[in-house]
A and B are shown apart, each in its own frame.
Chain A
Amino acid sequence: MLDAMIYALPFLMEGLWITVLVSLLTVSISLVAGLVLGCALIYGPLPLRLFTRLFSDTIRGIPILVLIFFVYYGFPAIGVDFDSFWAAVTALTLFKTAQVIEYVRGAVESIPRGQSEAGMAIGLTFSERLTSVIFPQALRRFLPPWINGVTDAVKGSALVSLLGVTDLMHAINQVIGRTYEAMPLYVLGAFIYFVINFSLSTLSRRLERRLSHVQA
Chain B
Amino acid sequence: MHEPLLTIRDLKKSFGRTEVLKSIDLDVGRGEVVAVIGPSGSGKTTLLRCINFLETYDGGSVRIDGAEVGYTEGRKRRGERALARMRAETGMVFQSFNLFPHLTAAQNVMLGLTKVRRKTKAEAREIAGHWLGRVGLGHKAEALPSELSGGQQQRVGIARAVAMEPKILLLDEITSALDPELVGEVLEVVRGLAAEGMTMLMVTHEIAFARDASSRIVFMADGTIAAEGPPVELIASAEANPRLFSFLARFRASHF
Residues of A participating in the B interface, judged by any CB pair closer than 8 Å: 112, 114-115, 117-126, 128, 132-133, 136-137, 213-216
Contacts and interface: CB of A to CB of B under 8 A. Distances in A.
Contacts of B102: 136-137, 214-215
Interface string B144-173: 111000000000000011001000000000
Contact of B92 (A121, A126, A132, A136): A121
Contacts of B89: 123
A122 B112 contact: yes
Given A121-B54, A124-B84, A126-B80, A132 B98 contact: no
B54 A117 contact: yes
Given A117-B54, A128-B115, A213-B144, A123 B84 contact: yes
Contacts of A213: 144
Interface in B113-136: 115-116
B100 interface: yes
A122 B98 contact: no
Given A125-B80, A126-B80, A213-B144, A117 B98 contact: yes
A121 B87 CA distance: 6
**Interface residue range, chain B:** 20 to 34
A120 B144 contact: no
A104 B18 CA distance: 34
A123 to B, nearest CB: 3
A123 B99 CA distance: 15
B99 A122 contact: no
A136 B103 CA distance: 10
Contacts of B85: 123
B52 A124 contact: no
B144 to A, nearest CB: 7
A205 B120 CA distance: 36
Contacts of A115: 98, 100
Contact of A122 (B54, B96, B145, B160): B160
Contacts of B100: 115, 118-119, 133, 137
Nearest to A112: B98
Contacts of A136: 102
B94 interface: yes
Contacts of B88: 122-123
Contacts of A120: 52, 54, 84, 87
Contacts of B92: 118, 121
Interface in B65-121: 80-81, 84-85, 87-92, 94, 96, 98-102, 111-112, 115-116
Nearest to B157: A118
Given A120-B84, A132-B111, A114 B96 contact: yes
B111 A122 contact: yes
Contacts of B160: 122
A124 B100 CA distance: 13
A125 to B, nearest CB: 5
Contacts of A118: 92, 94, 98-100
A122 B94 CA distance: 12
B56 to A, nearest CB: 13
Contacts of A137: 100-102
